[in-house]
Structures are given as C-alpha cells and as structure tokens.
Amino acid sequence: MVSSEQPRIQWLGRWGFMLAATGSAVGLGNIWKFPYITGEFGGGAFVLVYLACILAVGVPVMMTEIAFGRRGLGSPVDAIRRVVRESGRSSAWSLIGWMAMLCGFMILSFYVVVAGWSFAYLWKMLTGGLAGSSVDDMAAVFEANNANPWNLGFWSTLVTLLTMLIVGKGVQEGIEKSVSWMMPGLVLMLALLIAFGVFSGGFAQAFSFLFSFDAGSLSSEGMLAALGHAFFTLSLASGAILTYGSYLPKGTSIARTTLSVAIADTVVALMAGLAIFPVIFANGMNPAEGPGLIFMSLPLAFQAMPFGTLFGTLFFLMLSMAALTSAISMVEATVSWLCDNKGISRRTASWSTGIVLWLISTLAMLSFNLGADWTLAGKSVFDWLDYLTSRLMMPLGGLGMVVLAGFVLKSETFRDELGLAPLPYALWLSMVRYVSPLGIVVIFIDALGIYQVSFAAHWPLLLAILVAMVALGEALSPRLRPALQARRAL
C-alpha cells in the first residue's frame, strides 16, 4: 500500500461512496442525453448495445479507476504517480492524471451551461414562462433563452456558484450530505413520472420502443455512440470517479460497489426513458427530435397534461439536481489536487477553481449568443469543449488507464487492491487488457475520422484483432494464465 503524509478523509457512511459516485454518474447524460440519443439511434437496438458497452468497457474501466484512487490516495495526478512509482515505472504516466483532471474541468465548463438551461426551465415552469401551443413556440422559447447573454449567463453562473459552494464545504459535509437526499428524491420523482405515464397513455409504446430489439436499426454510428455514452454516463476518465475512489475505505469491495453504481446509473437512464417517451408518444412527438428533445418538446407535453405544471416542475427540479451532483464530481479532482499540493484550504481551492471555471464557462455560454461567430473549424467554444473531451480526452485517458493496469504495472497492485477471487480477477484482467482497449480504439479511430468502422461489416476483422491481441499479450506478459491456474489450484 502507498502511504501519504496525512490520513486521507473518507466517506462518512456506509453508503457515502455509493451515493456520491451514483450522483456523479447520474446526470444530464442519463436524463437529457440518453433519451435523445436512444431516440436518434432507433430505440431497443441502441439500448442493448449501450448495456453491453456498460458491462464490457464501463464496468472494468470504472473498477480500474476506483482502484487507482484508493491505492494512490489522491487526485488523479498524485494517485497515478504514486501507483506507477510503486511498480518502479516512470512518473510520466501521471500525464494521464493531468489529462483526466483537465477533462473533468473542461466538461464542467460546458456542463454548467446545459445545467443552466435546466435551472432556467425550472424557473420558467414555476412562473408560467413556458406557455405556447406548438413545438415551434417552444423552439422560440429555447432560442430566446439562449439569445440573451445576461439571462443565460445568470443561470450558468448560478450553477457555478452552487457547485463551488457544495464542493467548498468538503467531501463529507458537502458532497455526501447533498447527494444523500438528492439521489433518492430523483428516483422518487422519476417513479412518479413513470406512474403518470402508465395511467395517461403512451407507456406501452414507450416500453416497446425502448426494449424491442430490431437488429435492422443497428448502425455502426449508433454502436459507437453507445460506447462513447457509456464513458460519459459513468463519469469515466475525467477524474471524478478516481478521486471519489481515493476516499473509499480499504475494506469496501470495489467490484461490488462498481456494479451497484453501474446498475443504479443504468436503471436511472432506463427510468428516464420510461418517464419521457410515454409523454413524447402520447403527444405525437418525434422521438428523434435531437438534443432539444427535453427543452423544446416536453414543456409542451407537460402543458397538455393534467397537473402539468406540477409534473413539469418536478421534472426540471430533478434534472437540475442530477446535473448538480454530477457537476460537483467533475471539479473534485482539481480541488483535491490544489488542497494536497498547494497547501491551501478547501474553501480557497474551490473558490479559485470557481473563478477560472466561471471565465471559461462564460466563453462557452457566449457561444449561444454574442460569441456565436467565434468559431474555429466551424465549432464554437462550447462545441470544442464537448468535442475535445468526449472525442479525444476521455477515450485516450481511458485507454491509458487500462493499458497501465493491464500491462505496465505489477500484477500484485491491482490483485491486492481489487481483492477479487481468481476467476473474477482473470475476467477483469482480460477485459482491461483486450476487450476495453479494443472498444476504445475503435471509438477513437471513428471519432478522428481516420476510418469509418462498421461493426456489421467489420466484425470478423475485429474478432481476429481481438484474438491476435490476446495471443500477443499473453505471449509478452502472461498474467492471465497464472490467474486461472491459481483458481485451479484452489
């Protein structure tokens, strides 16, 4: 075990990590993005591939991140440096930590703008600002909300302030307490909305849309979107989960905790789908509406239903809460790094981070109005932040971490930290060595536009590459065999 100068604070309650990590994972990604990309990529088939990606890539990568955090007891930079040093490897690997930390910070810079939409809509819902009779009217409301920089800036600034306030209060008091009431509240409100859907129509159609598997609607783009979304939705390669993992007590099972977080995240995403699609179908709307699905269409639907203002308010309240519990996790790595390395208090660290965040997020916010023309290669500041993080940094960071864990570090490190029985350990190892890297490389190649990978057409090639990777990997560094032999010896 790597020791640090001071004992690191840990989560207070038994459920502390579970609540905080679930709060991080469940966010705009589940409630805003998952339904709209599911709608875009054809429903059931997309959902199935997404579930497979969560299991084959998301879960192993998340276990690896938590183990890095708990082993290295620090922010991504410090934790990775300590863990690689323990194996006598170069500290240059901590670059992965720097990138993850930066990635979380950059995601937050545009995430506060989207979260700001949610807060703005909560306010509009409460004050009757969402009156309109057509999708066009709602599109106009959305555009008007974005067009005024003072208005949009007010909401994103509010989200920034709330985020830094919670983070500044500290791991136990701030994060753990806020999540412990926000998460159950969120699930309750989703359940309420689903119950509403069951009684008001559209539920059966929504259910079959989400769960009927139609292989014909599987596109390679949809499969890649599913894989990319698995990263985003589980908050991977952005420092959040790794830093939260550094507060995890030694005795807690990483595998079990990861599975619980992944299940909770998936259940909330599916619940969000089951809550939203009945409304879409009952009102004859198009599920493939795109990113504006919630903001442009749902207020219209809420307006048409009994107690619509109440349900609409609950919905945007829930979305804002989910966004906030994710936002606080994105900046935790940076704040933790500042506290540990610069000797400043948590409060100072969080307010100084907040100022930089506010400046960058203001640029992202201005992309929707004054800065709409400040583009580079056709992308605004907002688009670039999104593109760089989800297309480049997350896949690269995830790849770096699984390669480190799978091939570079001493095998005892992760064997000790994960504390798994031989068979689950061998399963984790084969995932981080072969399945996850291959999946990540495929997204990466596609994201860079180097080559359009079609799973339908290229699966024999991909399978052959996987087999070749296993053969080569095991020839160069045979760790899987001893793990399995250990099992036989038991």
Q: Which residues bind ligand PFF (CB under 6 A)?
A: 24-25, 27-30, 104, 107, 232-233, 235, 238, 240, 326, 329-330
Q: Which is nearer to ligand PFF, 34 or 444 (CB)?
A: 34
Shortest Cβ 212–ligand PFF spacing (Å): 25
Q: Which is nearer to ligand PFF, 163 or 252 (CB)?
A: 163
Query: 294 phi and psi, to 5 degrees?
Result: -75, -50
Q: Which long-range contacts (CB under 8 A, 24 or more apart) does 369-377 make?
A: 369/146, 369/147, 369/148, 369/149, 369/152, 370/149
Q: Which is nearer to ligand PFF, 399 or 426 (CB)?
A: 399
Query: 376 phi and psi, to 5 degrees?
Result: -130, 125
Shortest Cβ 239–ligand PFF spacing (Å): 6
Shortest Cβ 107–ligand PFF spacing (Å): 5
Report d(CA 108, CA 232) in Å as an integer.
12
What distance, in Å, lies between the first and last C-alpha atoms of the chain?
Answer: 25
Q: Which is nearer to ligand PFF, 232 or 414 (CB)?
A: 232
Shortest Cβ 32–ligand PFF spacing (Å): 8
Q: Which is nearer to ligand PFF, 324 or 405 (CB)?
A: 324
Residues 6+ apart with CB under 8 A from 10: 16, 247, 248, 249
Shortest Cβ 375–ligand PFF spacing (Å): 24
Report d(CA 380, CA 364) in Å as an integer.
8
Give the gyration radius of the chain's Cα atoms. Answer: 22
Residues 6+ apart with CB under 8 A from 318: 31, 185, 186, 189, 190
Shortest Cβ 132–ligand PFF spacing (Å): 27
Q: Residue of minimal CB distance from ligand PFF? A: 29
Q: Which is nearer to ligand PFF, 27 or 174 (CB)?
A: 27
Report d(CA 327, CA 167) in Å as an integer.
10
Shortest Cβ 327–ligand PFF spacing (Å): 8
Cβ 68 vs Cβ 330: under 8 Å: no
Q: Which two tokens stand for residue 228?
A: 């990319």
Q: Which is nearer to ligand PFF, 279 or 321 (CB)?
A: 321
